Amino acid sequence: MSDFPFLVAMIAVPAVGAAVVAALPRARDALARQVALGVGLLVLLLAVLAAVAFDTGGERFQLTTSVAWIPDFGVDFALGVDGIALVMLLLIGVLVPVVIGASWEEGARGPGEGAEERPMRYFFAWLLLLEACMVGVFAATDVFLFYVFFEAMLVPMYFLIGSFGGPRRQYAAVKFFLYSLVGGLVMLAAVIGLYVVSSSELGEGTFAFDALRQLDIDPGVQKLLFLGFFVAFAIKAPLVPLHTWLPDSAAEAPIGGAVLLVGVLDKVGTFGFLRYCLPLFPDASRFFAPLVLTLAVIGVLYAALLAMGQSDMKRLVAYTSISHFGFIALGIFAFTTEAATGAVLYMVNHGLATGLLFVVVGMLIARGGSRQIGDYGGVAAQAPKLAGVFLLAGLASLALPGTNSFVSEFLVLIGAFPERPVFTILATAGIVLAALYILLMYQRTMHGPARGVVAPPAGGGGPVDGGLPTAGEAEGAGEVTDAGEVAGAGATAVLTAPAATARRFPDLSARELAVVAPLAVLIVVLGVQPQFLLDIIEPAVTATLSDLGATR
């Protein structure tokens, strides 16, 4: 069983699937999503089987495949997973089918723009290609191969944002691509530097991770190479002050793209810290740890404050992610097994919680046609299931005990405290802020009187509380709100639907329930019983930290 090349299959299946979907004739556009969903589920199955075949007590890298690729550069097509990469592959496997389900109507009409044709098959083809690249990034055990997937990943995401995104998608797509490319190119210089160091030490240059981590690199050189990798990962993760591309990209990306962008793509940054920065450059990692921790804590607090100030729901969720990435970086650079294990678990949990939050926000936006929090109110009365899932996602995001994020956040903080008490205490304040930004958004959109794009319930149509204003009053209130919006912020006027288009909010459909159900279940299950993931993660984290020379 474990001889089966799971990792190769997990790259090949979506890549071939992407080609098939893209080659569908225009008339069969609708078939694309069925094919894509099938491919997504197949990859999920492969990921689960790979996890079953993975021996938690076995070697560090398992399911390995290695074929010489470019002998002149010493590059191998080498794949393999440790526990950290494996849980990320599981996350990818879960999120992609969910995203495909959530994007079921994506081709039919994009948010904010009507006339333009957006062929569904291309959307799903880019999505599957992105999946292939993401699997490759986490599964590569050759630094060159990692770099290739790292950069190649940009292209599908670029087209997802640029072709299927919101009104400012061109700007967002280019900003996303350039930020990542700058980081990637700096890393390229460091990758080559690493190769040259290896060829001077070993006599023959190599990119194999296992050989590279045994090098004894001069501390000065280590610092330079560390910075090269670090910049790329810090842009990707993103750490303050390199984060400004994320809110733009996540806000303009289609919901499916945003989930994968924040849920998986950005994890490449934190994954890179753990996989490459710490084991390859131990001295430099220790040297720069205070700097990274400072950035991480600033990120936790600053992004949380910015999140509270957002009026655009997608941007708000993007900022919450930046805040959470601060926690992950804190866990990684505290150099304790507990904190780092917590950080890896956090990477998974954040993908699930924020993924669900993005999906639900997307469903809300699909109904209301606006991203502004101020355009919504009283949704809960009309769509109780939607509100319920929204609340669950929000609570998971703010790490309420009983949800998955609590376990990981707690592990990070408790693990980091003995080593870095000051940073940990400061970061703890982020938890309080998280409660504020999530609950404020929930309260404004879901409760109170119907307003903005939410049509007041028709007489007798729904359960009308005695406290609710009458229909006439509510309409008047809505007009006032809209007038205020238009006068106050001219720029958002485009997004603000006039009162005339206020519409009924149907509750979640069966499809939508099926989309959110897996994530909701996972959030609760992992909140109560995270042990099986921790069993996978912990040996890999211990091995990583032993490369670093940290004993605790």
Partner 1 sequence: MIEAPDLSLAALAPLLFVFGAACVGVLVEAFAPREVRHPVQVAVALVGTVGGFAATLVLAGTRDLEAGGEVTAAWALAVDDAGLFLQATVAGLATLAVLLFAERGLDPARSAFVASAAVPAGSPRDRELVTSTRVQTEVYPLALFAVGGMMLFVTANDLLIMFVALEVLSLPLYLISGLARRRRLLSQEAAVKYFLLGAFASAFFLYGLALVYGATGTVRLGEIRTAVAGEGDDVLVVLGLALLIVGLLFKASVAPFHSWTPDVYQGAPTPVTAFMAACTKVAAFGAILRLLYVGFGTEEWTWRPLIYGVAIVSMVVGAVLGLTQTDLKRMLAYSSIAHAGFLLTGVLGLGAAGDGSGLAATMFYLLTYGLTTLGAFAVLTLVRDGDGEAGHLSQWAGLASRSPLTAAVMGLFLLALAGIPLTAGFTGKFAVFRAAIEQGAWPLVLVAVLASAVAAFFYLRVIVLMYFSPPAADGPTVGVPGVPTTLVLAVTAAATLALGIVPGAVLDLAEEAARFVG
The minimum distance between CB 191 and partner 1, in angstroms, equals: 9
List residues bridging with 78 in a β-sheet: 66
Joined together, the tokens standing for residue 50 give: 């790979």
Phi, psi of 448 (to 5 degrees): 80, -175
Question: In sequence order, what are the residues at sequence separation of 6 or more whose Cβ sits closer than 8 angstroms to the Cβ of residue 144?
Answer: 70, 73, 75, 191, 195, 207
For partner 1, the closer of residues 45 and 178 by Cβ is: 178
Residue 62: helix, strand or coil by DSSP?
strand
Is 146 in contact with 137 (CB distance < 8 Å)?
yes
For partner 1, the closer of residues 199 and 443 by Cβ is: 199
For partner 1, the closer of residues 224 and 517 by Cβ is: 224
The minimum distance between CB 315 and partner 1, in angstroms, equals: 21
For partner 1, the closer of residues 211 and 436 by Cβ is: 211
Please confirm whether the linkage preceding 384 is cis (ω < 30° from 0). no
Which run of H or of E encompasses 14?
Answer: helix 6-22
How close are the terminal C-alpha atoms of the chain, in Å? 35
The minimum distance between CB 25 and partner 1, in angstroms, equals: 13
The minimum distance between CB 341 and partner 1, in angstroms, equals: 32
For partner 1, the closer of residues 1 and 67 by Cβ is: 67
Q: Which residues bind partner 1 (CB under 8 A)?
A: 69-73, 116-117, 147-149, 151-152, 154-155, 158-159, 162-163, 169-170, 173-174, 177-178, 181-182, 185-186, 188-189, 192-193, 195-196, 199, 224
For partner 1, the closer of residues 70 and 422 by Cβ is: 70
Q: Find the length of the chain.
A: 552
Phi, psi of 372 (to 5 degrees): -80, 130
DSSP state string for 311-368: -BHHHHHHHHHHHHHHHHHHHHHTT-HHHHHHHHHHHHHHHHHHHHHHHHHHHHHHHH
In one letter, which amino acid is 159?
F
The minimum distance between CB 429 and partner 1, in angstroms, equals: 36
* Number of neighbouring beta carbons within 10 Å of residue 475: 17
Alpha helices in 25-139 (DSSP H): 31-53, 83-102, 120-139
For partner 1, the closer of residues 238 and 355 by Cβ is: 238
The minimum distance between CB 171 and partner 1, in angstroms, equals: 9
Is 234 in contact with 295 (CB distance < 8 Å)?
yes
Residue 528: helix, strand or coil by DSSP?
helix
The minimum distance between CB 256 and partner 1, in angstroms, equals: 17
The minimum distance between CB 148 and partner 1, in angstroms, equals: 4
For partner 1, the closer of residues 187 and 441 by Cβ is: 187
Please confirm whether the linkage preceding 238 is cis (ω < 30° from 0). yes
For partner 1, the closer of residues 254 and 331 by Cβ is: 254
**Max CA pair span of the chain:** 82
Radius of gyration of the chain (CA): 23
Residue 102: helix, strand or coil by DSSP?
helix
The minimum distance between CB 494 and partner 1, in angstroms, equals: 16
The minimum distance between CB 272 and partner 1, in angstroms, equals: 16
Question: d(Cα 306, Cα 315) in Å, to the nearest integer?
Answer: 10
For partner 1, the closer of residues 8 and 464 by Cβ is: 8
The minimum distance between CB 285 and partner 1, in angstroms, equals: 21
The minimum distance between CB 182 and partner 1, in angstroms, equals: 4
The minimum distance between CB 162 and partner 1, in angstroms, equals: 4
Question: In sequence order, what are the residues at sequence separation of 6 or more whose Cβ sits closer than 8 angstroms to the Cβ of residue 115?
Answer: none
List residues bridging with 79 in a β-sheet: 65, 140
Looking up tokens 């740890």 gives: 289
- What is residue 1's DSSP assignment? -
In one letter, which amino acid is 290?
P
Spatial CA neighbour of 355 closest among 149, 105, 23, 91: 91
* Number of neighbouring beta carbons within 10 Å of residue 473: 12
The minimum distance between CB 154 and partner 1, in angstroms, equals: 7
Which run of H or of E encompasses 300?
Answer: helix 282-309
Spatial CA neighbour of 352 closest among 281, 262, 232: 262
